[in-house]
Structure 1
């Protein structure tokens, strides 16, 4: 059965405030503390923002989903603090464990009344059904999916938001994507996705 092309009009949010500067942040040619828009994050200092920005892929995905469904969108760092209190991030010194799916989904349901389901086994084939039914999916992929690399060193570790599907591709909003290349509704073939995708994620929406 053929799959009709569907792309939900989901607003895009980067995990850094200056989406145009993502290439410089990820290569280290510009430090996150020097992001000219850091104050938009709601952080108390450039240092607080710089600590969390590389770790906020899940937060960016949630903000996109909230905007899509018409909820007020909190700034990113206050949202991180909320999720820390909810147990979705666990910080020990300079180490952070997360995003932890179960407490994340529980908090999303309690805070916004938005359906959220942690799915430890989410085959790529099911993503088509998710998108076709009007929902969105956070997918755990390797961060190099934003590039043309074909063989990532591992799978998972970075969250992207699936916003569309077609017979050939899944369309991803990538919080650390490259401007004009892999940020907004970037098409990724199903075969390519399999090389980066850890087979788990969170489904948002009823």
Structure 2
């Protein structure tokens, strides 16, 4: 029996205008039209629009930093630092990442937090980590935002597990839909299995 617990983690979308995520995702509004793009710290709206759809990991990290009492940097400068640390590999318009091992090493070196890459991670282990006061980046399919009955695959998008209960895991989803699946979204355990790739990164206070 899982004890219900939820951590009061601040929420950040991977887009600056979290209220417009539905439009950004559907393509009815371009990221270059985000009225708040400058708060991302990008040098240009084009730089922001390139990274916004790819910044789920940085959004999760910003939420964790806020929760663990660290200053929260703007998203695009954080991406640049992550690139330098080998967390992402960019080749032209292609980006590979978030790469777990260099990400965990960077988070530990940069902020002194506990960070552990978990290439194999069971839902029960997520529960245990959350109960210990930690947060967990989970690799899920992006269609978790609507609990799509038939996602194309598992993994490819990162969300942050901030709580769990007997029949659900509570997540902050950087590309969740406003009022529906952005923050404190309770995903039933029966549904999670369709999306979760069984890997992630555990973050916490240093030992």
Secondary structure in 1 matching 2:160: strand
Cα distance in 1 between the residues matched to 2:2 and 2:159: 21
Corresponding residue for residue 202 of structure 1:
201
Cα distance in 2 between the residues matched to 1:148 and 1:139: 15
Q: CA deviation digits over 1:54-74, x for unaligned, max 9? A: 000000000000000110000
Corresponding residue for residue 186 of structure 1:
185
C-alpha deviation, 1:151, in angstroms? 1.6
Q: CA deviation digits over 1:34-90, x for unaligned, max 9? A: 100000000000000000000000000000000001100000000000000000000
Q: 5+ unaligned residues in a row in structure 2: which ranges? A: none
Corresponding residue for residue 46 of structure 1:
45
Matches within 5 A, 1:31-180: 31-180=30-179
Cα distance in 1 between the residues matched to 2:197 and 2:2: 23
1:7 aligns with 2:6: yes
TM-score (norm 1): 0.98
CA contact 2:117–2:200 (8 Å) conserved in 1: yes
CA contact 2:138–2:201 (8 Å) conserved in 1: yes
C-alpha deviation, 1:148, in angstroms? 3.4
CA contact 2:147–2:191 (8 Å) conserved in 1: no
Cα distance in 2 between the residues matched to 1:27 and 1:189: 25
Cα distance in 2 between the residues matched to 1:126 and 1:110: 24
Cα distance in 2 between the residues matched to 1:25 and 1:155: 22
Say how many residue pairs are matched. Answer: 205
